[in-house]
Amino acid sequence: MARGVNKVILIGNVGGDPEVRYLPNGNAVANVTLATSDSWKDKQTGQQQERTEWHRVVFFGRLAEIVGEYVRKGSKLYIEGRLQTREWEKDGVKRYTTEIVVDIGGQMQLLDSRGQGGGEGMAPRPQQSRPAAQRPAPQQQQQQQQPAQPQAQQMPDYDSFDDDIPF
Instruction: Assess contact for 105 and 82: CB atoms under 8 A.
Output: yes
**pLDDT tens digits, 119-163:** 443 443 333 333 333 333 334 434 444 444 444 444 444 454 455
d(CA 20, CA 115): 22
Let me know if 14 is exposed, middle or buried by CB neighbors in 10 A (0-12, 13-18, 19+). buried
What is the rounded CA–CA span in Å between residue 38 and residue 15? Answer: 16
Q: Read off the pTM.
A: 0.64
The β-bridge partners of 87 are 96
